[in-house]
Amino acid sequence: MKEPTKPIVTAPAETETPLALPRVSVTEITHEDLDRAVDRERVFRARARKGPFGNLRLLWLLVGPGILVMLGENDGPSMLSYAATGARYGIGFFIPFIILTFVMALVVQDMTVRLGAVTHRGHAELIYDRFGPFWGRFSMIDLMLGNFLTLVTEFIAIRAGLGFFGVPPWVAVLGTLAVLYVALMTHRYWTWERITLAAAMFNLVFVPAALLTHPQWGQIGHALVSWGPLPGGVNKDMVLILLADIGATVTPWMLFFQQSATADKGLTPNDIRFGFTDTLLGALLAALAAIATVIATAPLFVHHMSAANFQAAEFAQALEPFIGRWGATLFALGIFEAGMVACITISISSAYAFGEVSDQPHSLNLPMREGKAFYTVVFLGAAAASALVLIPGLPLVSVVLVVNVIAVLAMPPALIFLYMLVNDRELMGDLTSPRWANVLATIVVILLVGAGVLYGISVVAPNVFARIGGS
C-alpha cells in the first residue's frame, strides 16, 4: 500500500484531468508538489518571455532527462564496446552503424517523453495499470535483472578506470557510493539533474582523446558514405560486437528512466517539442562521444594489436604510445565517468520503477523521511552490485559483453509495451504517437529481433557465416 506522504493541507479537489483519467478525489499538497511547482513556475515565466532569450531560457529549463539518458547510456560497458569496436575493426562500417543505433534510440526515447508528459506517470506504473500485473511482473523482472547486471558492469568500469591511476578497487567502489549519496541528498530533482548533467558532460573527454590520434578525416567520410570497410566480413565476433554496440545505445532501463524523469520533472504536453530537442541533443552528444571512442582506439587496429581481452584500463595503457600520457589519462577518466554517471541514472531508474509498482512515493523531490523506500532501493542496488565486482577472479570482460547482449534481447518486448501505450487513445487522447514515429519504431523492433536472431545463429551455427562470405 502507498505510504502516505505527509498531508499538510487538504483542499477541494480538481476533479478532472484533460483526458479524464484518473479522477482525483482528495488533493493533498506535499513538499514534492511544492518543489515541482517551483520548477513549473520558472517554465511559465520563460514561456511568457518573447524572443530568442525566452526560448533559450525555456530550453535550459526543460532539457535534462533526454541528455541524461543518452549520456547515461554511454556507460562503462558501452564505452568498452566502442573501444573494442575501434580496436578490432578500425574506422569503417561501425561509424555509420553507431549513428544508426542513436537514430533508433532517438525514435523510441521520444515516445517515452510523450507518454510521461501527457500521463505524468512512470513507465512501470502504466504497464501495470494497462496490461495488468501478470505482464507487469515480466517487465519488472527484465528491468531489475538487466539493471543489476548493468550496475555490476558500471562498477567494473569504475574500478578499471581508476585502476589506471593506481586507485585500489575498494577505494573506487566506496568513493562512487559516496558520490551517489551526495547526488541524492539534495532531495531536489532540479539540483540532482544539474549536478548529474555537469558530470555527464565529461563523457566528451573521448573527443580530445580521439583528436590526439590525428584521425584521417577522409577515411571517416568514406566510412560514413560507403558503410565500409568491414575487415573479416560477417562472422561470430562481428555479430557479438554488432549486438554489443546496439546494446550500448538502446536498452530497457532508458525507457523507464526517461519517462519517470519526465514525469518527475513535471513536463506537460506543451513541453513535448522541447523534450524532443532534449533527446536529440543527448543523442548528438552521445553519438559524438561514441564515435570518438572508436576513432581513439582505431590505432590499435592499424598496428594489429590484439584487444580481445582488454579491459578499460588496458585500453588506456595500450593507447599511450599513440596518444600520449594525457590522451591515455583522458581515456581512463572517461571510462570512470561513464560508469559513475550510469551508476546514478540506472540505480534511479530501478527505484522509480519499484516505487511505481509498489505504490511507494517515488521522486527525487522527496525528503528522506518521505522517500525512505525510494532512496533505499537506489543504495541497495548499487551497493550489492559494487560488492560483486570486488570478488577476485570474476570474468569481468565476459560479464560486460553478455550484459549488453541481454539488453538488446530484452528490448523488443519492452518496445511493444511502449508502442501500445503511446498509441493508447484512452491514455493519450489526440497526443498519440505520430504515424512516422510508429513506422520507425516498428522498423527498430524488426531490426532488434533480426539482430537477436543473427546472434542466435552465430552462437548455435557459426559455420553459416563462412558459407555466406564471412571468415
**Region 137-156 residues binding another protein, contact defined as CB under 8 A:** 138, 142
Q: Which residues contact 206 (CB under 8 A, 6 or more apart)?
A: 79, 289, 292, 293, 296, 330, 331, 334
Separation CA 90–CA 386 (nearest Å):
33
Residue 15: φ, ψ to 5°? -100, -15
Which class for 144: exposed (0-12), middle (13-18), buried (19 or more C-beta within 10 A)? middle
Separation CA 348–CA 341 (nearest Å):
11
Judged by CB under 8 A, does residue 119 bind another protein?
yes
What binding mask, one character per residue, do residues 12-31 give for another protein by CB under 8 A, x or -?
-xxxxxx--xxxxxxxxxxx
| Distance in Å, CB of 134 to another protein, minimum | 9
CB-nearer residue toward another protein: 291 or 405: 405
Judged by CB under 8 A, does residue 129 bind another protein?
yes
Interface stretch with another protein, choices 163-171, 193-201, 222-230, 394-402 (CB under 8 A): 394-402
Cell of 450: 533480426
Interface stretch with another protein, choices 221-229, 346-354, 377-385, 402-410 (CB under 8 A): 402-410
Interface stretch with another protein, choices 40-48, 271-279, 291-299, 463-471 (CB under 8 A): 40-48
Which residues ranging from 435 to 464 are in contact with another protein (CB under 8 A)?
449, 452, 455-456, 459-460
Which residues ranging from 244 to 273 are in contact with another protein (CB under 8 A)?
263, 266, 268
Size of the site for another protein (CB under 8 A): 72
Interface stretch with another protein, choices 101-109, 337-345, 383-391, 404-412 (CB under 8 A): 404-412
Residue 320: φ, ψ to 5°? -55, -40
Give 391's DSSP letter.
S
| Distance in Å, CB of 38 to another protein, minimum | 7
| Distance in Å, CB of 210 to another protein, minimum | 31
In the block, residue with C-alpha cell 538502446: 250
Separation CA 381–CA 31 (nearest Å):
26
- What Å distances lie between residue 247 and 30, 141, 394, CA to CA? 39, 18, 22
| Distance in Å, CB of 332 to another protein, minimum | 27
Cis? peptide before 269, omega within 30° of 0: no
Interface stretch with another protein, choices 1-9, 94-102, 218-226, 432-440 (CB under 8 A): 1-9
Q: Which of 180, 198, 194 is nearest to 381 (CA)?
A: 180
In the block, residue with C-alpha cell 518573447: 50
| Distance in Å, CB of 250 to another protein, minimum | 15
Of 54, 57, 96, 130, the one binding another protein by CB under 8 A: 130
Which residues ranging from 298 to 357 are in contact with another protein (CB under 8 A)?
none
Separation CA 293–CA 81 (nearest Å):
9
Of 249, 259, 347, 363, the one binding another protein by CB under 8 A: 363
Separation CA 186–CA 359 (nearest Å):
23
